[in-house]
Structure 1
Amino acid sequence: MNKLKKIAIRVIAESLSEDEIAGLKEMFLMIDTDNNGQITLEELKKGLERVGANLKESELLWLMEAVDVDNSGTIDYGEFIAAMLHLNKIQTEDHLYAAFTYFDQACEKYGILDSNIDDIIRKVDKDNDGRIDYSEFTAMM
């Protein structure tokens, strides 16, 4: 996922109610064996093995990198929920609109303004008007 999509999914994840993510919290807690609120690569590997998934080391590293939006080397609860949303395609119109509406705040919060925003806009801006409109945003999702 590109950084814009990672952040958008994270915004969606943070807007969901507890009912909408039922079961995911328990899954996170099952993987986070030391209960510190962060999933390490080793915890992820063991957690996936417990549920019958046997990934290669390279696949685990790719998964960690894809999910770890803030590049901390661990997966926090919000990143985990965002990854599960992406994997399960739980993206309703209301949540997409909420993510689109609050994207400016997310850009600031997650430091996307520090990266090359022009490159990100060019990748998503299909009509080349220098802006990401709602239809381009939802197409990216």
Structure 2
Amino acid sequence: MPSEGSTYGDIHRYEPPRESTAAAIGIIVLTLVEVIMVGLFTYGLISGWGYPRQYAALGNMFLGGLLAVIFINLAFILLLYRKEFLPDVMIVKKRRRKWEDLYIREEDVDGTTLGDGLGDSIKRAIYPYYKR
């Protein structure tokens, strides 16, 4: 819970990133694997591994598998970067009340009674351009 003295938009918690050397080495290794996989995928597209011929289905599956490995590898690179090199920041935000989510005015939060405004509703139903 944010403290009582904080205002909206203030930084409530700031933890600097760990910036570990193992994560940096891991990102470098995963980036090298990424470059190799992208090169292999590009070579496969240029040399026509997926063109219609005897084993075209295997070529298409191999190219699709390479593309999947490329995106999974990229996801691990981004996960490591986000976890180890971005700070953990929590900003105090305004919490809206439930009636604000329903686009209800503050004076209408409690609702209306059964007969409240019945005459205006009937007049508005008969004559749509009726003003209050």
Structure 1 length normalisation: TM-score? Answer: 0.20
Larger CA Rg, structure 1 vs 2: 2
| TM-score between the two structures when normalised by the length of structure 2 | 0.21
